[in-house]
Structure 1
């Protein structure tokens, strides 16, 4: 029997060590892959250094191909009204990416397996730590922090899985014997409960902040913010309000310049709650492996990229007149970016994702374009908008309006003639205003598709693209996983 959804326990640590990160010398110390062999699993889990390497492997894995490139674009972005495939018709990847944009994907399409297996690889690395670290005699405070970090990342992986597929196998420990490899799907309510327990535990064990080379690791604020987001997807509004209020008390603030918020020099800033860390490490292209920016960059220009996942005219038109976030989110063919890059007026696509953009001058031959850029996962602006949505649902329009105004005030940059204050206290009207703000504030950050589904508006907004109710709320389970499970896994309805 093939071990679907999980990695053979005997070989798992070899895989983990293949992506380990060292603690030597670079700006982000847990990013660099050491040129070393792979010790057998039986030789591992002896020292605190082993634990450090294993936890670092979790972070290294987060910037891999299946975590940030084609599969996430396909399953987490292309279904929305904000994006379309882009690139160039001659690119062989365009036809299968169009399947997601047009809701024509079948259960045999390969990005489904990449997304599925990528999440379970992350979960495996987390479970390796969680099941082995107690056997190590090491500093108790650091051990508890590593457990909390692993639970946060495992929760993040399961949240992405449950949004994409609904019912999924829930594995919280390494398999003890062959009978535990081939797990059935758990109901999504059970998956959500496990996610919330992990995040409760993580928040209790994580520090509020880090210094030096540890900046970028999961924090208490990250666990609370992700927990709030998970609760929001379940419409647990009192929990959303409580959790976001806790985050609001941790000292985060909106970065003043929205466009600069996404540039490399401003990574891990006052607004950042969690970012997937990436870096261009001199002499080590293998460790500088993020392709997040490369696959979305301006096609046809040195230092650009492949041009996939481009903004639509619909997104362009969603911004209110004068909203500066439009030009900070969309690179238009023929424009000159604030960083001085002249975009060809004959670029293959009319628009590109500016949030994934890295100035062309930062390109280094032999490395992926934009390998330096972190991927923003959780921002304080989203916490404010979650707090606003929860407050409104619970009948507190005053708090909701105050949160909403903070986000709009940053966007307008002090120009009150642009983006006037929202003043309505009507619950339904204010809900739509908050949803609009999420749309334009978080555009091109891989949330719009699932946001619209949870809001109950997918048939209205995505229907013209081919979205069908009672089917497209989730993607199909990869057929290869069903086959290899001997039918233990069950296909989602409609596929």
Structure 2
């Protein structure tokens, strides 16, 4: 059962009164900090308000997908909304573009604020169950790390706000990327002891130890801390998590059916129970907008689509019974899908451009003919197949290439593909050749799952003109990519102007 995170507690304002001015009266119906943080129920509401941030437009309800999927070499935009399309092709002219930058920055720090509220106020609350109190605090630390992880991917040099400001005019100091990673690691490690291996059904969707170790491994891998990343991932293979996770039918990872299954390590719980507006209203939309914005023409807004090289890559290698990789059928919409798989998507036809493809993951074509803003399909932030490929990458970087093959094979074998060594014997134990192949393996398994931007950064594929030129062969939008500039977003200019402690990111 999905948790309905609809309790909105955020932004509690303390009213200060210094005189008897009749125009400066406290609202007797408004909760203050002193009135609210008193009971276990208050603490539960406070932590649930953090999860409610998943439903804000600047994050995983809508704009995060544009930042991570369309800016990478997997996707692009031909939207008639020119400024939106420009932001997916590195034309960052308006640093204050609300939908492309400001809203995501805003909602990141709203989420961090809610985490800090819990971390500051819950310790003073008396609990009958000390374990529950510890779990609430651990969730807040995990979620703060979660939001700063993505802030590090997007802007890199961001302020670390680790407490609730007592002065609304406080101007926070900017931190370096290295300092942000240190804080992400710290919060994740501190959350470990008090988060369970699994939650009961009523609390499905909250982070587990597996979610912590997975996010910790991602953080460490981005810093090339390979030994530490392996230690984190060992949880899934030699630790307590080794019997908790596994692979399921590939398509079940992207539908509302069979969610939170054995392959799920951490996923955002979306719901179509509320079909209200955006923001913090009581009946705020709790669904994902992704399918509406990424659906093909005539089905949704078609503001984002997939690069066709993915279709071509899927078709380069046949299965053991000489068929097309079955993952293609559930990963992408493309013109030849009816011919290749006998599948007529969405029950209708539309006009196709030359070599045109669309992201199919998280769509609802399996039971309806259109999309809307209220998709109930959960977003899989971390799944076991990704863990397997992360472990293989880590082992390879530690010069244990021979040991890495088995974990790639587990992913390939699910799709009825031959073992990697049999299919590509020239790789052998060559570390660089294995890494190059792993880049393709990750694209085939994980395309459209918002991991590719982090991959490109981690691999150093955006660090030199020579490497960017290779990326351009797959994605011509990288013609606009400037080294040491577009690897990060510009900080919203309004933030820089309002805070003298902030410097705009390099070369902007």
Partner of 1:43: 35
3-state SS in 2 of match to 1:346: coil
Does the alignment pair 1:341 with 2:337?
A: no
Contact 2:58 2:103 in 1 (8 A): yes
Contact 2:295 2:363 in 1 (8 A): yes
Shift of 1:333: 4.6
- Tell me: CA distance 1:178–1:122, structure 2 relative to 1, closer, same or farther (3 Å): closer
Deviations 1:37-57 (A, max 9, x none): 964433211111111111111
Partner of 1:214: 203
Contact 1:155 1:196 in 2 (8 A): yes
Shift of 1:170: 0.4
Distance in 2, matches of 1:369 and 1:348, equals: 26
Under a length normalisation based on structure 1, what TM-score does the superposition of the two structures give? 0.85
Shift of 1:308: 2.4
Partner of 1:15: none
Q: Where does 1:20-419 land on structure 2 (aligned, <5 Å)?
A: 27-32=1-6, 39-87=31-79, 89=80, 93=81, 95-106=82-93, 107-110=95-98, 111-138=100-127, 139-177=129-167, 181-248=170-237, 249=239, 250=241, 251-281=243-273, 286-301=284-299, 305-319=300-314, 320-321=316-317, 322-333=324-335, 335=337, 341-346=346-351, 350-359=356-365, 361=367, 368-412=372-416, 416=418
Partner of 1:9: none
3-state SS in 1 of match to 2:34: helix
Shift of 1:383: 1.1
Contact 2:138 2:190 in 1 (8 A): yes
Does the alignment pair 1:476 with 2:465?
A: no
Contact 2:78 2:85 in 1 (8 A): no
Shift of 1:194: 0.5
Contact 1:29 1:213 in 2 (8 A): yes
Shift of 1:282: 6.7
Could you list the runs of 5+ residues in structure 2 that have no partner in the other structure?
10-28, 277-282, 318-323, 463-467
Shift of 1:332: 2.2
Contact 1:405 1:422 in 2 (8 A): no
Distance in 1, matches of 2:381 and 2:66, equals: 17
Q: Pairwise CA RMSD of aligned residues?
A: 2.7
Contact 2:490 2:504 in 1 (8 A): yes
3-state SS in 2 of match to 1:275: strand
Considering only CA atoms, is the larger Rg found in Structure 1 or Structure 2? 2
Shift of 1:151: 0.8
- Tell me: CA distance 1:125–1:282, structure 2 relative to 1, closer, same or farther (3 Å): closer
Deviations 1:109-137 (A, max 9, x none): 22211111111111111111111101111
3-state SS in 1 of match to 2:381: strand
Contact 1:131 1:173 in 2 (8 A): yes
Distance in 2, matches of 1:279 and 1:79, equals: 27
3-state SS in 1 of match to 2:205: coil
Deviations 1:90-122 (A, max 9, x none): xxx3x1122123211132322211111111111
Partner of 2:25: none
3-state SS in 1 of match to 2:4: helix
3-state SS in 2 of match to 1:167: coil
Shift of 1:188: 1.1
Distance in 2, matches of 1:348 and 1:146, equals: 50
Shift of 1:144: 0.4
Contact 2:149 2:184 in 1 (8 A): yes
Deviations 1:222-241 (A, max 9, x none): 00100000000000000111
Partner of 1:491: 504
3-state SS in 1 of match to 2:304: strand
3-state SS in 2 of match to 1:156: helix
Contact 1:148 1:202 in 2 (8 A): yes
Shift of 1:369: 4.4
Deviates more, 1:440-449 or 1:353-362: 353-362
Partner of 1:20: none
Contact 2:7 2:48 in 1 (8 A): no
Distance in 1, matches of 2:471 and 2:430, equals: 26
Contact 1:267 1:374 in 2 (8 A): yes
Deviations 1:355-377 (A, max 9, x none): 1202374589xx94452111110
- Tell me: CA distance 1:483–1:334, structure 2 relative to 1, closer, same or farther (3 Å): same
Could you list the runs of 5+ residues in structure 1 that have no partner in the other structure?
1-26
Contact 2:346 2:369 in 1 (8 A): no
Distance in 1, matches of 2:214 and 2:37, equals: 31
Distance in 2, matches of 1:207 and 1:422, equals: 41
3-state SS in 2 of match to 1:65: coil
Shift of 1:283: 7.9
Does the alignment pair 1:467 with 2:481?
A: yes
- Tell me: CA distance 1:282–1:236, structure 2 relative to 1, closer, same or farther (3 Å): closer
Contact 1:311 1:353 in 2 (8 A): yes
3-state SS in 2 of match to 1:31: coil
Shift of 1:255: 2.9
- Tell me: CA distance 1:400–1:38, structure 2 relative to 1, closer, same or farther (3 Å): farther
- Tell me: CA distance 1:335–1:345, structure 2 relative to 1, closer, same or farther (3 Å): farther
Distance in 2, matches of 1:455 and 1:492, equals: 21
Deviates more, 1:417-426 or 1:375-384: 417-426
Contact 1:84 1:101 in 2 (8 A): yes
Deviates more, 1:268-277 or 1:345-354: 345-354
- Tell me: CA distance 1:34–1:97, structure 2 relative to 1, closer, same or farther (3 Å): closer
